[in-house]
Amino acid sequence: MDCSYFDAGVCRSCTLMGVPYGEQLARKDRHARDLLAPYGDAAWLPPVASAESGYRNKAKMVVSGTADAPTFGILDEAGRGVDLRECGICAPGVRAALPVLASFVTRTRIEPYSVPERRGELKYVLVTHSPDDELMVRFVVRTEAAVDRIRARLDELLAALPTAVVVTANLQPEHKAVVEGEKEIVLTPQSSLVMRVGGIPLRLRPQSFFQTNTAVAESLYGQVTEWVDQVSPSSVWDLYCGVGGFALNVAAPGRRVVGVETSTEAVRSARATAAAAGLPHVAFRTGDATAFALAAKTAPELVIVNPPRRGIGAELSSWLEGSGVPSIVYSSCNPTSLAHDLARMPSYRIRAGRVLDMFPQTGHLEVAVLLDRV
């Protein structure tokens, strides 16, 4: 993949840009296998490749510049906007939407926020693209006045961008390094974006986490489901479940599945999908994964964990080590924190593992392992 932004030195976020893709994939696979070798003589499956470009289903664009000439992209070292609306790793549907959204900013006269001057209204535009070529568009603004301006011309936006089925405004008034605030105002009748992955129509609400690479996420869900079916547990916990991707995919007759997630919006999404799919034996709880495990009276036969980059940590690792749970599936976006967690669980060994390239052109990767208690 070639990138004019990278070549010009204006954006270096994709640190492996220019490295042949086959070499990128081989490096990631080798790195994960070497790092995790001490934790079991695993049967490693071939890595799952991704499309080299156009794979990101979500763009988080910092809005800067002026209302007449807004930039959508990142900030440079001086806090000035760098326009990246042609970023090649974004899905075509996202790239097509960005010029329309920039024009909308100009028409609504919402002033982009200036970080150096601490003034302005519009901080970010967040765009998510679904496999059905539909969009969720979120405007992160500082005040209700900006929300009113967006609402007043919403019909114009929907006419110019008919793929936008969900439009929201998020209020984040503070000057700090936080993308979004707690208050989300849904401006369209539809409040969730349907993400059809592996035959399951996941419902993605604003502020809900979802994997940024839809095609590789489908492979990940498929691999985890295959491992779970091999173990054939009657009870499963899906900790850090997000919108329920793993829980809903591993659901089966006679199998009780419980998903746990801190995000209330994500749990609402997961429950809606389960209800629509007619899955009465899948339940979702809002709460901390570690606290849920520590308070439980009984343990399941299999636990799935999909934590953030920091891993599951010492407390949950310790609980799992002493729990007697026969099998664990651990999906990690950071093999280093995965290794740290495995070191705390010496009773488990890796039976199978697989690297999935969720983030081409970068050094990041997803690795999933099936652990057996020995």
Amino acid at 116: P
Identify which of 237, 256, 248 has the alpha carbon closest to the alpha carbon of residue 204: 248
Q: Which residue has the tokens 């996420």?
A: 217
Q: Which two tokens stand for residue 88?
A: 């090649």
C-alpha angle 124/126/127, rounded to 5°? 150
DSSP letters for 238-261: EET-TTTHHHHHH--TT-EEEEEE
3-class secondary structure, 156: helix
Q: Which residue has the tokens 């070191």?
A: 343
Contact 235, 71 (CB under 8 A): no
Q: Which two tokens stand for residue 229?
A: 């079916």
Identify which of 231, 207, 211, 215 has the alpha carbon closest to the alpha carbon of residue 136: 207
Catalytic machinery residues: 333
DSSP letters for 177-235: S-S--SEEEE-SS---EEEEETTEEEEE-TT----SBHHHHHHHHHHHHHHHHHH--SE
Largest CA distance in the chain: 64
Considering just the CA atoms, what is the radius of gyration of the chain in Å?
A: 21
Q: What H or E segment, with its residue span, contains residue 77?
A: none
Identify which of 304, 292, 268, 131 has the alpha carbon closest to the alpha carbon of residue 211: 131
Contact 302, 327 (CB under 8 A): yes
Question: Residues 6 or more apart from 49 whose CB is under 8 A from it?
Answer: 21, 25, 357
Helices (DSSP H) in 79-213: which residue ranges? 92-108, 144-152, 154-160
Question: Residues 6 or more apart from 118 whose CB is under 8 A from it?
Answer: 175
